[in-house]
Structure formats: C-alpha cells, structure tokens
Amino acid sequence: RGHRHRGTHLAGTAMLALGAGLAGLAPSPPALAQVDAPAYRLEVLTEGLEHPWSLAFLPEGRMLVTERPGRLWLLDAQGQRLDEIEGVPKVFASGQAGLFDVLVSPQEDQLDRLFLSYACGELAANHTCLARARLDDGALSEVEEIFRTHPAKRGAAHYGGRLAWLGDGTLLLTLGDGFDYREQAQNLQSHLGSLVRLNTDGSAAQDNPFAGETDARPEIYSIGHRNVQGLVVAGDGRVIAHEHGPRGGDEINLVTPGANYGWPIATTGLDYTGARVTPFTEYPGTEPPLLEWTPSIAPSGMTLYDGDLFPAWRGNLFVGSLVDHEVRRVTLDADATRAEDVEGLFGELDERIRDVRTGPDGALYLLTDSPEGQLVRVVPASP
C-alpha cells in the first residue's frame, strides 16, 4: 500500500455528462446533465487507502485521513503519506463499524488537539465513542475517551460519526439509530438516533435543549434521526445534516436545537422488505426535510463550498453518493429553508464517494470508499 501512480489526472468537463465521457464509461442520464458545471480536473493524490472515511486539514497544507479499519494517516500537501499515526484508540471494526471522523481544534494555540469518533466495544455490545488526543511527532498522546453513547447496542450498523464545530467552541457529533433499535430515535433517554452537543471535555453543553430534564440525556441536541453521516455548520451558524433512509427517504435537514426529525414516525422510505415503516410521511411535531431522495442515493460526506476556485459553486452543498458513485450538487435558498438537487458530478471516477471536503486552497477533496480507496482533488481544468 504505497504511493502508486501519484499525480494521476482525470479530465472532467461539463461535456462528460453529455456523452463525451471517458472511454468505456456510460454517459450520465439526461436528467443529470452537468450543463452548469465549470470545467474541472480530477487529480488522484493518494491511492491504496483501505476504506478511507474522513479527511481533515492541518497547518502548512498537511492532511489527516482516517481508514475505517482503525488507521490514521498523516499526508503532506501533495498527498504523499508521511506517517501512520500511532496511538489511535482501540476500534471495533466490523461491517459499518470502525474509525470514523477526525476533527482538528479550531483554536490557534491548540491545532495539535484532535478529536476522533469511532465504534468501540464488541459485536454484542458496542457504542459510538469520541476521544481527544494530541498529535505529536507522528503519534497521538494524551489519548482520552471523553464520550460514548448509551445504551450499548448489538450489531455493526448505523453509528453516524460525523463531527463539526459550532461557533461557541462546542462540537456536534452525529449518531445512528443502531439499525435494529430505530424506536430509540424517539426516546430522550437514549442517545441512539440523535445529534449530541458536547464541550471539548465530552460533557454536555450547559444550555443544551434538554439539559436539566430528569428523563432526558443532557447531551442531546436533536432527535428522530436514522443514520446521520453528513454534517456542516455554515458561517452564519446554521446546522445542516443529512441522513440515510431505508429504501428511499434520504433527507437533508436544517437542524435546530430540540427539534424532532421524525424517524421512524414519519418517512417517505420503505423498509428493506418493501413494507411501510410508518403510514406517515409527515407528522405533527416533527420537522420536514429540506430535501429527500427516493430512491436512496446513500448520502455520505458533505461540504458547503466556500472556496474561490469555483465561484459558480460558492454556497452550494456537495453530497457524496455511495449508491450512484458520484457527488450531488445541491443549491440552497438564502435562508436555507429550501434545497434543490441540481446535478451529479465526478461520476467518471465510478467510485463510492465517502467524504467530500472544501480545502483551504479552494479545491474540493474526495475520498473514495473501497479497499483501494483514493484521495482525489478537484481543481479548475485550466489555471
């Protein structure tokens, strides 16, 4: 697992979606024609990553990449692997379980402070966990688990695991419903199927919506989620998340404190057997999504693009699609109360897209989910 074929370039332009395509690739359906896409180039920076899950940027252009089996890599600005970081917490890796997100402290004097989300425990009893650590000379030190979900669950599915900072220095961690425990998403005494808001020591933020209530977990920020794997916080503080539905019913939501997003009371998705999960597509007291996908696209990483390399895309959401092997571009109205899926991009990679990030250089960065995963940079086709 070295650095094979670093610097590989794949051409990408608006015309690819209209049928020009790369040799051997079928054109996109007409409904997804990328007529508004700026001309771009795909640069494969790193190959041979085993199911990479998350990307974070460090000072001086360096990057961190997590692999779901439990590895953390340090890369330079060109994607060259510098070190496998030692000291990663013990991870339960099975099925969807493993090492998930990596988040860097936003404080200038603490840029060596990292936060890692991961599955911990064993098949019969496991949790989504959060640890903090310091990055020092290619290894983690002061590693400390600061939060784990309760109750424990059985199985290896639906962990959530995305992290993001709020403007007040607290962080959000997305969670899943544990698959076989979906009713817990409506139970305030369970973390399953919720978003939690934490201080940097893992404690509940003091002004969380259910803090002080005896019948609720104080960390809970919102409930009624199925499996949230995309999370962004806009510059104005708006929290936007997406979650997997079952057969259909993938959702993008504008998340507000204390709100209920409906799962499993209200959904447009069907169970995997084809049965209806619920007779309700909407329900009083629950929030409707900004956008839903049926059939499912299996949304993954998400970024709100704010870079300078692609001015036409500024303010758009870019959502990885595991099923469609592409990235969906989604536009938002000014107050983020409506969203529209505009087009599919980067399908010429023909890869499951696990993470999407906006880099400090204004490029888009993609992680492909496979045993030989790639880190891909999206830049304009010409300077």
Instruction: Name the DSSP class of 100.
Output: E
Structure tokens at 368: 């492909």
> Which of 154, 144, 151 shows the shortest CA–CA distance to 94?
154
Which one, of 322, 257, 328, lies nearest residue 292 by Cα? 328
Is-contact 217 210, C-beta < 8 A?
Answer: yes
Q: Measure the CA–CA gap between 187 and 193, rounded to whole angstroms.
A: 9
* 5 has catalytic annotation: no
Q: Is residue 49 within 8 Å of residue 67, measured between CB atoms?
A: yes
Q: Are the C-beta atoms of residues 113 and 105 closer than 8 Å to each other?
A: yes
Going by C-beta distance under 8 Å and a sequence separation of 6 or more, which residues neighbour residue 166?
Answer: 172, 197, 233, 237, 239
Answer yes or no: are the C-beta atoms of 259 and 188 closer than 8 Å: no
Backbone φ and ψ of 109, nearest 5°: -90, 5
Q: What angle do CA 40, 45, 50 make, to 5 degrees?
A: 120
Q: What is the token pair recorded at 9? A: 């370039």
Q: From CA 72, how far away is CA 77, in angstroms rounded?
A: 16
Q: Is the dihedral of CA 5, 138, 367, 20 positive or negative?
A: negative
How far apart CA 291 and CA 105 sit, in angstroms, is 31
Q: Is the distance from CB of 307 to CB of 287 less than 8 angstroms?
A: no
- The catalytically annotated residue of 51, 158, 244, 325 is 158
In terms of Cβ atoms closer than 10 Å to its own Cβ (0-12, 13-18, 19+), residue 59 is: exposed
The residues annotated with a catalytic role in the active site are 158
